[in-house]
Amino acid sequence: MSYEGPEFDPRPSPPSRRGRRALIAALVVALAAAGVAVQRAVGGDGDGAAPAASSGSPDARATPGGSPGAASGSPSVSGTSSPPASSTARPPAKRGPLSGKVVVIDPGHNTGNAAHTAEINRTVRIGNGAKECDTTGTSTDAGYAEAKFTLDVSRRLRALLEQQGATVRLTQDGDRPWGPCIDERARIGNEAKADAVVSVHADGSAAGNRGFHVILPGTVTQGGADTRGIVGPSRELGERIAGNFVRATGSAPSDYVGDGTGLVTREDLGGLNLSKVPKVFIECGNMRNGKDAALLTSAAWRQKAAQGISGGIVGFLRG
């Protein structure tokens, strides 16, 4: 502003001691308020994901070609995990075509898993066998963690579905130090009576392999698991997601699994075996392939990925 004009005194008299104290107090309050505003403005890391920990080695329980194994969830171990507040539904942002529908989004792995190896290495039952509670997931060669990717895409996906009126739950929202285990992840979807569940992942296959694929549940009827009621609707959900993912992202289906269909059926993933509601996994690309990695690390492409998954879910729920 300009300090010129008839109302400006270039030689103001100094304020009294009491006036100086009042001025200082007012300045402190103003600076404190500004500091809060700045902190809120810059508190995120730019893409909405929690700070990444070391991704560790990829899950040895891989798909053909080295895909990380599935994550689903389990109870806390010796009180070391905080309650999964993210499993509580947020109210839908608005009424819309998905009003009354419940969707559970499962961000694969957790950026804190690498610091909690004892917890994630314990085994849990998956119906037809046993697997580790969870894994660290994979990462790009430059160190961008799968767990950071999955949480970012899941948050974007949640926003899109809430705009359609859906009630959305995340199995974890960066709000717990590790996990949840694969059986707990499945249980969150079951207890929510979800109309659809999608577990978001990225693959860690050989560097020459490219593309996305959607993993469907096979028929498993062992050890308390019974997927017979969800195999059919899960396939429909997966087909719709695959088709919309191609249109939204321009990515091609996997060239190393699925015979070009982008669909793979598996019976060794606890998150699918233990589900009682329609559920699929999506491996959005191969983090170890340079071209796929360039997409996965792009915020603009991650938004397209979320749009593709959302489109498939909306199509499935609306019939």
CB 72 within 8 A of CB 104: no
Among residues 162, 184, 239, 283, the one annotated as catalytic is: 283
Residue type, 113: N
CA 37/CA 52 separation, integer angstroms: 25
DSSP 176: S
Task: Name the token pair of 259.
Answer: 């015979």
Burial class (CB in 10 A: 0-12, 13-18, 19+), 211: buried
CA 25/CA 250 separation, integer angstroms: 58
Hey, which bits of the chain come out as E strands? 102-107, 123-125, 130-132, 167-170, 196-203, 213-217, 263-266, 279-286
Residue type, 2: S
Produce one character per residue of 280-310: b if its CB has 16 or more CB atoms within 10 Å, e if not: bbbbbbbbbbeebbebbbeeebbbbbbbbbb
Task: Name the token pair of 195.
Answer: 């109309």
Which residues touch 37 (CB under 8 Å, ≥6 apart)?
Answer: none
Known catalytic residue at 236: no
CB 172 within 8 A of CB 252: no
CB 255 within 8 A of CB 208: no
Which residues touch 162 (CB under 8 Å, ≥6 apart)?
Answer: 90, 92, 93, 94, 168
Catalytically annotated residues:
283
